[in-house]
Amino acid sequence: MEWQAAWEDPFRAFLGSFRSLVGDKRTWVTLTETIRGIIGAGSLLCQRIAAQSPVLSQARNMAQRVLRLAKGQSTKRSRIDDVQLTTKLRERGVAHLSEVDTDELWVILDGSGLCKPYARDMPALMMVRDTDGKLVPGYSTLTALGVTPTRRGSLYQRVYSSKEAGFVSEPAEVQKALQTVSQALEGLKQRLTVSWILDRGFDDIAVWRTIWEQGEHLVCRIDEEDRRVEFCDRHGHWQPGTIAQARQHLRLRARAQTEMELCLGRQKRPKRQPVVVEIRAVPLRLTYDRNVRRPGPEILTPQEVWLVEVRLLETNLDPWLLITDWPVSKQAQALHIFRMYRQRWAVEDSFKFTKKCLGWEEVQLLDLQGIRTMVALAWVAAAFLYEMGVTLEWPEVELLARLGAWEPRKNRPPGKIVISRGLRRLMEAQATMAFLDRYIAEHGALPPRIAALAGIPLTKEL
């Protein structure tokens, strides 16, 4: 494994961002090996994590060190919990994004359920929706990713429950996320424009108000068409009405062909293929209370926005109905809004990645703080793989991708799932060799049949 040092150095350098949280060498080893084990195991089960670590797997109660780390019992000199890990991860994400020469930064905020459909004894379980839309026990999560044309950085993540002590409300959790991310980006906003890209769950004037107060922009999918607005009709006159009425005055701004993964016509399974997109828009005027959902007198404030409708022709998908404060009077502007909202799927890709490849829904700790810490550790592991997979700066990436069963294709670089699969196979090999090495040290040699199956001579030193 001549290339291992080339991989190990960036891994250690990445985790170096979290070194200040650790007060002793033993806890530092546990932290680094836990992150390594999460990547290798593709799971948040402590036993599986420890089994994938050449260091932790040598202990008799190998899962105990991972469990103590998650519950904050490792040492009083270390500050390892979800808040501290997420803060360091956000600092790392901002630094990573700041290295790109661009004038725009898109922040994608979305929620997801951490589903535990068979759990009964875990603390503060609430009801969340699974991928089929069914209500199951679990927890809610909020995640914010910063996106530039070539990079992605984790800016916020939190697991919460409406059943936990001291919980205020879900809108309060959203406000905390908006303000925390904005404060972290304060330095970047001097040279970059920041736009929030939101799904229909954030069709909320209090959310928009906070974004505008922070000097930022938004593109948000609409859920309520009965919102009262003023719209500019086809004759250029302003009329009072609803968003549903404003849709009757949309004007075609752009028509283009792009590639997306979806079903066309009678196709039963989605695949990546060309699709024609039509983008229509109409200017609106909103009037909102700046003190909505917070103490203070009513302060009515006007805001000029645009209503944008995106239609994917020859599909059964509903049109995207968007609100944005960016102008959409020209073709280039309309296409830009379309590209921005498409990037919202990046966060869905992240959920898929962390759930499938890092197994965040497998977490089984009976302590809510421990659950939060384990999920935060999974996001640390994911962030390392994002930086490796998105930038593709190392020659070792192609080797990892091939280990993950990737086949080279023109203009199709390996994704994070493939890379993590290859990395997992490599780390499994490391853990296996460490286990065999320990066995030989204790017993002098491998059992003959195991040695023959592995192709290892009985007396060969591993």
Cα–Cα dist 276/274, whole Å: 7
Mean pLDDT calculated for residue range 439-447: 80
- 129 or 302, which is more confident: 302
- 410 or 74, which is more confident: 74
pLDDT for 397 equals 56
Angle between helices 345-356 and 368-391 (to 10 degrees): 120
pLDDT for 263 equals 86
91-121 burial: b if 16+ Cβ within 10 Å, else e: ebbbebbbeeeeeebbbbbbbbbbbbeebee
pTM of the model as a whole:
0.81
Q: Token digits for 75?
A: 């040492």
When mean pLDDT is compared across 123-127, 186-190, 253-257, 265-269, the lowest value belongs to: 265-269
- 16 or 430, which is more confident: 16
Angle between helices 25-41 and 416-443 (to 10 degrees): 120
pLDDT for 6 equals 46
When mean pLDDT is compared across 184-198, 304-318, 336-350, the lowest value belongs to: 336-350
The rounded percent of the chain whose pLDDT value lies above 90 is 39
Of 72-81, 346-355, 368-377, where does the model show the most confidence? 368-377
pLDDT for 5 equals 43
pLDDT for 394 equals 45
Q: Look at residue 96 and tell me whether its pLDDT is greater than 70.
A: yes
- Render pLDDT for 319-364 as a digit per residue (tens, 0 to 9): 999 999 999 999 999 999 999 998 886 566 666 666 665 666 666 6
Residue 152's pLDDT band, with cuts at 50, 70 and 90, is confident
Cα–Cα dist 157/144, whole Å: 7
- Render pLDDT for 384-422 as a digit per residue (tens, 0 to 9): 777 655 434 444 556 666 666 667 666 566 665 666 666
pLDDT for 1 equals 25
Q: Where are the domains of the chain?
A: 4-75+367-431
Residue 114's pLDDT band, with cuts at 50, 70 and 90, is confident
